Amino acid sequence: QVQLVESGGGLVQAGGSLRLSCAASGGTFNMYGMGWFRQALGKEREFVAAINWISGGTNYPDSVEGRFTISGDSAKKMTYLQMNSLKPEDTAVYYCAARRRWAIATTSGEYDYWGQGTQVIVSS
């Protein structure tokens, strides 16, 4: 069983940056695939980033490519999402997720564990 706790959300002006953190406990961390998703009010949960601990490969949708970076430290069981050049449309609750396979996954149904989420608000 894996527990995930996100932190680092907050209010930021458009063009600013935030770094989200996800602390994991339980399980064999480096055997898990990690991802970030977000859900804006009234919208479906959306894929934001994923990382493969084995290859170091990452994946992003076009909406955040070049602005967001996923990284982590498997020894510390930490995953990060660096968000730069934030836009008002990035406003959402951001969730960290883990899956029991290390390969990259981009849909929420492929993940087994979820954090409680952290709110990000980008003002114009």
Q: Closest Cα partner for 95 from 51, 37, 49?
A: 37
- How many Å separate Cα 20 from the centre of its chain? 8
What's the chain's average pLDDT?
A: 93
Write down the pLDDT at residue 30. 59
In this predicted model, what pLDDT tens digit does every residue of 24-38 receive, in sequence order? 988 765 567 899 999
Q: How far apart are CA 87 and CA 122, in angstroms?
A: 6
Neighbours of 26 (CB within 10 A): 12
pLDDT over threshold 70, residue 14: yes
Write down the pLDDT at residue 31. 65
Q: How far apart are CA 105 and CA 100, in angstroms?
A: 11
Least confident interval from 47-51, 62-66, 74-78, 109-113: 74-78
- In a 13 Å sphere around the CA of 8, the CA atoms on its Cβ side amount to 18
